[in-house]
Copies of this chain bind each other. A is one copy, B any other.
Amino acid sequence: MKGFGVFEKGKVGWMEKPDYVCGPNDVICRPIALAPCSSDVHSAMEMEGDYLKNRILGHESIGQVIEAGSNVKDFKIGDKVVIPCTTPTWQHPDIQDGTHQDAGGLFTAINFSSYEDGTFAEQIKVRSADMNLAHLPDGVTIEQACMAVDMMTTGFYGPELAEVKFGDTVVVFGIGPVGLMAVAGAKLRGAGRIIATGTRPDCIKIAKEYGATDILSYKDGDLIGQIMGLTGGVGVDACIVAGGGFEALNNAIAVARFGYGNIAMLDVVAGEASVTLNNMYIAGFLAHKTIRGGLCPGGRKRMERLLSVVKYGRVDPSLMITHRFNGLESIEPAFQLMVNKPKDLIKPIVFVD
């Protein structure tokens, strides 16, 4: 089979791989829709490691089952399926502690483009199919579902980790697609005021549609000062860091309310990182602020629930799609778009048939 991947750091292109052998708990899919993610660019252009040599990229996809393993109960050939970007085996005891993303080690749930090949290929193999896949429900479009498998589950994790409550004032740092979904998720956890930071006009427009009530730009001055100004010097109930790395994390720690503020860290950083915790904000006991991070949750139940949120009209994640392509070979220009990040880009999608 043919796939689009990374040969070595910085060098991407099409590669030929043997067809998958379907294990008893696996399904093999053909792709129906694919979406490149900034993590794909990150993996191909910035990271190193043997697992990124001759590795097919991609982890956002909707597929159709072309083969199902002998143990698979709930999926059969022809089924249209929603494939979460994280696909843990669910067979490590650590999942018994309540999270599955890092069971047995950091990022073990990231299988695509990591332990195994990714989704930008003629075939996609999904391990532990009954535990990971969800059926594409009636009333949910391919576009919507494709935005749920990573962007929505990651963005919605923000208000969960930050424990957003009815009427909370929330700030979302960054309004790329994860930040936009964090805004939508905060609204759907009952937030009142939602302050978002960003500068790109298309993102700002969608952020407002998703529920942002105030948009701030670093160009108008120090973000901490602006947020403190908007909140009468009190700060906010919840912060979600969806971009900006540790600088944004520092800002979040600064503006989280004394005695209560919750901070969710949804961003990845590379290299040694330093958090300068300004004494004014956290000197004592972190000023009773809580910081939580977490990789996007996967699992069939998670997918089914997010798709239910979409199906019943609570949010439309496909509003984020700005660029549409057709044909598997279009994954190349779609990926290139993510590398170049033109101003009007939020998310591209590639329809394979």
Binding site for B on A (CB under 8 A): 90-91, 93-103, 105-107, 130-131, 156, 160, 165-169, 185, 187-194, 211, 213, 246, 258-260, 265-279, 282-295, 299-302, 304-309, 311-312, 314
Contact = CB atoms under 8 A, between A and B. Distances in A.
B106 A258 contact: yes
B259 A103 contact: yes
A285 B279 contact: no
Given A274-B275, A287-B293, A289-B293, 19 more contacts: A91-B130, A93-B130, A96-B302, A97-B259, A97-B260, A99-B259, A166-B306, A167-B305, A167-B306, A168-B305, A192-B309, A192-B312, A213-B312, A266-B285, A269-B283, A272-B276, A273-B282, A274-B277, A284-B295
Nearest to A105: B258
A102 to B, nearest CB: 3
B295 A288 contact: yes
A133 B344 CA distance: 46
A190 B189 contact: yes
A264 to B, nearest CB: 9
A314 to B, nearest CB: 7
Nearest to A293: B286
Given A288-B102, A291-B291, A305 B165 contact: yes
Given A277-B246, A279-B271, A106 B287 contact: yes
A302 B93 CA distance: 9
9 contacts: A90-B96, A100-B259, A102-B288, A192-B314, A269-B279, A271-B279, A273-B276, A286-B294, A288-B293
A84 to B, nearest CB: 11
Copies of this protein, total: 4
Contacts of A101: 259, 288
Contacts of A300: 93, 96
Contact of A312 (B193, B305, B314): B193
Max chain B C-beta neighbours (<10 A), residue from A96, A130, A156: A96
A189 B270 CA distance: 34
A123 to B, nearest CB: 24
Contact of A292 (B168, B267, B290): B290
A285 B265 contact: yes
Contact of A285 (B246, B275, B294, B311): B294
Contacts of A96: 90, 100, 131, 299-302
A166 B185 contact: yes
A277 B283 CA distance: 18
Contact of A283 (B156, B194, B268, B311): B268
In order of increasing CB-CB distance, the 3 nearest A-B pairs are: A167-B305, A286-B293, A192-B308
Given A274-B274, A274-B276, A286 B265 contact: yes
A285 B158 CA distance: 11
Max chain B C-beta neighbours (<10 A), residue from A100, A272, A314: A314
A10 to B, nearest CB: 20
A239 to B, nearest CB: 13
Contact of A284 (B106, B192, B302): B106
A190 B167 CA distance: 14
A98 B270 CA distance: 32
Contacts of A311: 192
A100 B260 CA distance: 10
